[in-house]
Amino acid sequence: MIKNDLFLKALEGETVERPPVWMMRQAGRYLPEFMELRKKYDFFTRCQTPELASEITVQPIRRYGMDAAILFSDILVIPQAMDIKVQMKPNFGPYLPNPIRSQADLDKVIVPDIQDTLGYVMDAITMTKEKLNDEVPLIGFAGSPWTLLCYCVEGQGSKSFDKARGFCFTQPEAAHELLQKITDTTIAYLKAKVKAGVNAVQVFDSWGGMLSPQDYQEFSWKYMQQIVDALKDEAPVIVFGKGCWFALKEMANSGASAVGVDWTCSPQNARYLTGGNVTLQGNFDPARLLSPPATIKKMVTQMIRDFGKDKYIVNLGHGILPHIPVENAKAFIDAVKEYKE
């Protein structure tokens, strides 16, 4: 039994004394103890070494005592497993030297055996569960098929992902074949994570907001729905699309246990668009963690009042920024722990 099960209760829609809190990207780059490890090991070494991944996962829990841990990894381990080369370049970000631009490129992409290619993630889950000792739940995650396609086709990060969108609009059959391969791999991957011991999973659609509402349905949401359908009876699923307020209704009716909201959608609008029945997660602007701690605390308290304490998980509206002071992150967490009606 998990000692602090606030997060799991919120996912079930149960009444709680206060909402649970965790932060997207809480394991990592803003923490001094993480920076020490970063000096010694490159990015994918940290992802692929279970001892390191598990240590990084529990670092923020030790420091701040969030109500859930999220496994340290990266969404791009899936393309790597599918035989798509991925590098992480310092001061540049992800770089895929052989992007998928044609049917011939696509024919080389495999749907892998998860245990063979991503077994190290399952080992990291086992080690992390031991370190957490049932104190808090553990979240596993994956990128949405659309977000992964963006990197696989573009070959790197982008402000607009024009090449990725162009691929979908000029070669829709190839795009759908790639999206399905990513979806099938993701489902197998998340099922293996649940089997290995994660208590919930989250699907991140970081670039969903690049698409029009109509194109979102065709190139992103229908694949996310497949993932929800495959996983929802095995573990709670959280879906999160950045810039996807227009899809909140579909997300709320998808069978997912919770829907993530970014900071461009107010709590009142998010409740309205989702029908008021599903657990919501979010939506503090990550840049607002640069405000003074006293301001952060006031804003977090107001955010909880606006969402309501039940069917709500306090989080950021996207991942924490690298240059956030540790005391500001603490103010964010403490404000939730100190919350009283």
Residues annotated catalytic, as ranges: 25, 29, 38, 74, 151
Contact 179, 145 (CB under 8 A): yes
Antiparallel, parallel or unpaired: β 93-95 and 138-143: unpaired
Please give the distance of CA 19 from its chain centroid, rounded to a whole number.
19
Contact 22, 68 (CB under 8 A): yes
Contact 271, 302 (CB under 8 A): no
DSSP string for 55-118: HHHHHHHHHH--S-EE----TTHHHHHTT---EEETTTEEE-SS---SHHHHHT-----HHHHH
Cα separations (Å) of 182 from 77, 138, 150?
Answer: 11, 24, 12
Ligand-binding annotation for 151, yes or no, is yes
Cα separations (Å) of 48 from 43, 156, 184?
Answer: 9, 21, 22
Ligand-binding annotation for 44, yes or no, is yes
Ligand-binding annotation for 160, yes or no, is no
Q: List, in order, residues 6 or more apart from 9 with CB less than 8 Å away.
A: 16, 20
Which parts of 181-286 are beta strand (E)? 200-205, 237-241, 258-261, 279-284
Ligand-binding annotation for 212, yes or no, is no
Ligand-binding annotation for 27, yes or no, is yes
CA distance 232 to 223: 14
Contact 205, 224 (CB under 8 A): yes
Ligand-binding annotation for 165, yes or no, is no
Contact 309, 19 (CB under 8 A): yes
Q: List, in order, residues 6 or more apart from 340 with CB less than 8 Å away.
A: 18
Ligand-binding annotation for 291, yes or no, is no
Per-residue DSSP letter, 257: S
Ligand-binding annotation for 26, yes or no, is yes
CA angle 21, 221, 96 (to 5 degrees): 85
Closest CA to 221 of 171, 147, 140, 316: 147
Q: Which residues are documented as binding site?
A: 25-29, 44, 74, 151, 206, 318
Q: Which residues are documented as binding site for substrate?
A: 25-29, 44, 74, 151, 206, 318
